[in-house]
Amino acid sequence: MSPAAREAAVRELDAIRRQVEAAIGVFVGRVEQMSGHVEDGHRSVAAWGRAAANWSGAEASRFAKLGRVFHTMPLFEQAAVAGEMGVSQMHALAAVAANPRVKEHLAGSEELLVEQARTQHHDDFLAALRKWESLADADGAFRAHERAHERRNAHLDVLDDHMYLDAHGSTLHGALMREVFNRFNKAQWLADWEAGKATHGDQMNTSLLDRTDAQRRFDTLLAIFRAAAGSGEAGGEIVVNIHIDQDQFEHELATAAGTNPEPIDPATFTRRHNNTSHGDPLHPAHILAAALVGHVRRVVLDRKGVIIDLGRRQRLFTGPLRDAILFTHRRCIHPGCNRPATDCQADHALPYSIDGPTNAANGAPLCSHHNQWKNHGLLTVRDHHGRWHTYRPDGTEIGWPVQYLTLAA
């Protein structure tokens, strides 16, 4: 293909992408307007999207916002459905239009904003959009700082073998946090310097420091977190639950002891191997090191990942049984809900009122909202793979797995 043909081809594909993105936004907006998401117990149309299409939380939120703005800006919806603006421009305009402080200016500026989204280069449009938002905001520049504070956010995620930390907020708080960080970092540097002097004496120089600047910055952040954990502000002792199979743990112990054990058979892999209760992957050597200075508790699971009954029958899941149920789940089991298991109630998947047993096999974390919905005729069961499925009274399944798993089979 010639360069011109390649450009024409990608533009044709992008035109389809634009229209599909807009069509999804329109559909999601209609579902929210008719409260269609409520029928299956979803708190929001975004939660419905996570369950129905397996969207990420960010995707679901963007489509929900797009659908709401389409409802109030007909020219915007018309241009988007026609494929006249890029996907990024579409969502950027929807995000700004969702700002309640510019609402009164939207009607008079809709035609201008849509035309700019259609005709301007991407970066030029975003710059113009930010400028329009600052002017439409009654308090101008001050509001920009206020928005940064109101939209403050932080994410700490563990992906594969790396940890990622991202945060944004107001410049005032940023300046304070930077001063704290710099002070801790200086203490880390001085500790390295003193350790180096003890080893190298008068020959000590910066090239002999034990850690690189990058390593020291991460260790500075870790030192700040540890200082906060010991301050009592977190409301008590902070506990991180780590999962490892007995065979893997014994293998790592034997390796650390200097023996040469047989490699672990990959075919014995389970979803509970070498991770935290949030699913963060850990190396077995690091787990062993943590076990040597921490506490170890033994939990026995069957092949489905169900914890074997931990004690006498009782009406409510409390004590060790409750801990065991939350220990083996990351989030509320209702489709589309991402409430962490630590914020959920450990309750009967099959309700106690219809003879649901009080044991770990029938226990699952349900948030306070969805714990009530199981009494609306919903049936939640665990299949032979250990996956949870939730069915409506008419027998149809809530959420995406039923379609995709059937196709895969």
pLDDT at 143 over 90: no
- In this prediction, residues 164-188 reach a mean pLDDT of 86
87-97 helix and 3-33 helix, angle to the nearest 10 degrees: 30
Quote the Cα angle for 46-271-335, to 5°: 20
- In this prediction, residues 221-235 reach a mean pLDDT of 80
How far, in Å, CA of 359 to CA of 370, rounded? 20
Phi, psi of 256 (to 5 degrees): -65, -30
pLDDT at 159 over 90: no
pLDDT at 401 over 50: yes
pLDDT at 270 over 70: no
Using DSSP bridges, classify how beta strands 242-243 and 275-276 pair: parallel, antiparallel or unpaired. antiparallel
User: What local confidence, expressed as pLDDT, does residue 271 receive?
Assistant: 46
pLDDT at 380 over 50: yes
How far, in Å, CA of 290 to CA of 396, rounded? 45
What HEC string does 351-381 produce?
CHHHCCCCCHHHEEEECHHHHHHCCCCCEEE
pLDDT band at 84 (very low <50, low <70, confident <90, very high): very high
Q: At which residue do the structure tokens 């999207």 appear?
A: 49
Instruction: Determine the 3-state secondary structure of 159 from DSSP.
Output: strand
Give the tens place of pLDDT for each residue, 298-344.
Answer: 555 665 666 654 443 344 445 555 666 666 677 888 888 888 887 78
Quote the Cα angle for 57-401-397, to 5°: 105
Instruction: Determine the 3-state secondary structure of 166 from DSSP.
Output: strand
- In this prediction, residues 47-61 reach a mean pLDDT of 93
User: What local confidence, expressed as pLDDT, does residue 216 receive?
Assistant: 93
Give the tens place of pLDDT for each residue, 195-209.
Answer: 999 999 989 898 899
Strand partners, 281: 275
How far, in Å, CA of 281 to CA of 289, rounded? 15
Quote the Cα angle for 400-402-404, to 5°: 70
Q: At which residue do the structure tokens 């672990």 appear?
A: 264
Cβ neighbors of 165 (< 8 A, separation 6 or more) are 154, 155, 156, 221
Q: Return the minimum-mean-pLDDT range out of 7-11, 112-116, 395-399.
A: 395-399
Strand partners, 348: 363
Tell if the pTM clears 0.75, that is, is over it.
no
How far, in Å, CA of 341 to CA of 349, rounded? 14
- In this prediction, residues 139-149 reach a mean pLDDT of 66
- In this prediction, residues 155-174 reach a mean pLDDT of 83
How far, in Å, CA of 373 to CA of 200, rounded? 67
> Would you put residue 380 in left (φ > 0), alpha (ψ -120 to 50) or beta?
beta
User: What local confidence, expressed as pLDDT, does residue 302 receive?
Assistant: 60
CA 306 to chain CA centroid, nearest Å:
25
User: What local confidence, expressed as pLDDT, does residue 21 receive?
Assistant: 96
Q: What's the token pair of residue 96? A: 């700004």
Q: Return the minimum-mean-pLDDT range out of 12-21, 253-262, 265-274, 371-380.
A: 265-274
Q: At which residue do the structure tokens 């770990």 appear?
A: 360
- In this prediction, residues 139-154 reach a mean pLDDT of 74
Q: What's the token pair of residue 100? A: 């309640």
How far, in Å, CA of 113 to CA of 133, rounded? 11
CB 402 within 8 A of CB 54: no
DSSP 264: P
User: What local confidence, expressed as pLDDT, does residue 382 receive?
Assistant: 78
pLDDT at 9 over 90: yes
Q: Return the minimum-mean-pLDDT range out of 31-45, 161-175, 221-235, 393-407.
A: 393-407
pLDDT band at 353 (very low <50, low <70, confident <90, very high): low
pLDDT at 286 over 60: yes
CB 336 within 8 A of CB 48: yes
Phi, psi of 11 (to 5 degrees): -65, -35
User: Which amino acid, 408?
Assistant: A
